[in-house]
């Protein structure tokens, strides 16, 4: 056999040796070699796996892109609507705070004050309401006191000094000052005077100047008030 053919035969035998070596009971490579090979291959495998996951995510994003853009557009529209509602609520709250405790009057006198303000309707606290109170002065004697509503639906003037002289029939006027009611607005007419149980003051019933059950139109008057902070 020529030398060149012998050389090729040796190469073929060596190339084929991995196929018949595992059949031998003796392993050609040690355990340490196989572990080293595995540890070297693992980072590359992880990198290739990460690249595959990235391509799958990119492909999924390309397929879902139009739907995501439409969803994003709808969400932006909802956010704008929410912001508009929030701004409207803020403006109404500011308007409510500004208008609360303003005097409500007619040409005949005081009706009450603004208690709550809504978008189209406001609630008025009448002078006969038990939560109503306003500084008041008698027209002739200039005696000062407090005009309040009662649970029985009456209006009274309380804290009238025992030492002061005044008479039934005097007109009760708003005192002005830091009260929400302007100075000189009629509240009602003073009626029978009673002794206070504490014997420190007197009180009297007030007949309102305005027929509260028949009011149709009123005027809201802004006046410096400790309640409204102005």
Domain containing residue 157: CATH number:
2.40.10.350
For the segment 28-81, what is each residue's pLDDT rounded down to a tens digit?
A: 545 655 566 556 656 655 665 666 666 666 666 666 667 777 777 788 778 877
Q: Is residue 48 part of a domain?
A: no
For the segment 73-100, what is each residue's pLDDT rounded down to a tens digit?
A: 788 778 877 777 777 666 666 665 666 6
Q: Cα-atom radius of gyration of the chain, to the nearest Å?
A: 47
Q: Is residue 39 part of a domain?
A: no
Q: Which residues contact 173 (CB under 8 A, 6 or more apart)?
A: 136, 137, 138, 139, 183, 184, 185, 186, 187
Q: Tell me which residue range forms the domain holding 181.
A: 103-221
Q: Is residue 110 part of a domain?
A: yes
Cα torsion angle, 6, 12, 15, 20, sign: negative
Give the count of beta carbons closer than 10 Å to the beta carbon of residue 217.
6
pTM comes to 0.57
For the segment 148-174, what is each residue's pLDDT rounded down to a tens digit?
A: 999 999 999 999 988 888 888 999 999
Across the chain, mean pLDDT equals 75
Q: Is residue 96 part of a domain?
A: no
* Count of the separate structural domains present in the chain: 1
């Amino acid at each position: 056999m020529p030398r060149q053919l012998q050389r090729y035969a040796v190469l073929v035998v060596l190339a084929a040796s991995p196929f018949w070596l595992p059949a031998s009971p003796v392993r050609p490579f040690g355990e340490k070699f196989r572990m080293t090979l595995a540890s070297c291959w693992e980072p590359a495998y992880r990198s290739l796996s990460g690249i595959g996951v990235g391509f799958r995510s990119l492909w999924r994003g390309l397929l879902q892109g139009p739907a995501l853009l439409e969803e994003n557009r709808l969400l932006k529209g909802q956010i704008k609507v929410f912001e508009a509602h929030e701004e409207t609520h803020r403006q109404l709250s500011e308007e409510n705070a500004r208008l609360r405790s303003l005097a409500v009057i007619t040409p005949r006198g005081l009706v009450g004050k603004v208690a709550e303000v809504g978008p189209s309707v406001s609630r008025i606290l009448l002078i006969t309401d038990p939560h109503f109170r306003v500084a008041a002065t008698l027209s002739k004697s200039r005696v000062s006191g407090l005009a309040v509503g009662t649970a029985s639906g009456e209006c009274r003037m309380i804290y009238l000094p025992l030492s002061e002289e005044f008479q039934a029939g005097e007109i009760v006027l708003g005192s002005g000052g830091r009260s929400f009611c302007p100075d000189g607005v009629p509240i009602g007419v003073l009626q029978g005077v009673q002794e206070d149980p504490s014997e420190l003051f007197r009180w009297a019933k007030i007949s309102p100047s305005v027929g509260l059950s028949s009011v149709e139109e009123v005027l809201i008057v802004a006046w410096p008030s400790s309640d409204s902070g102005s």
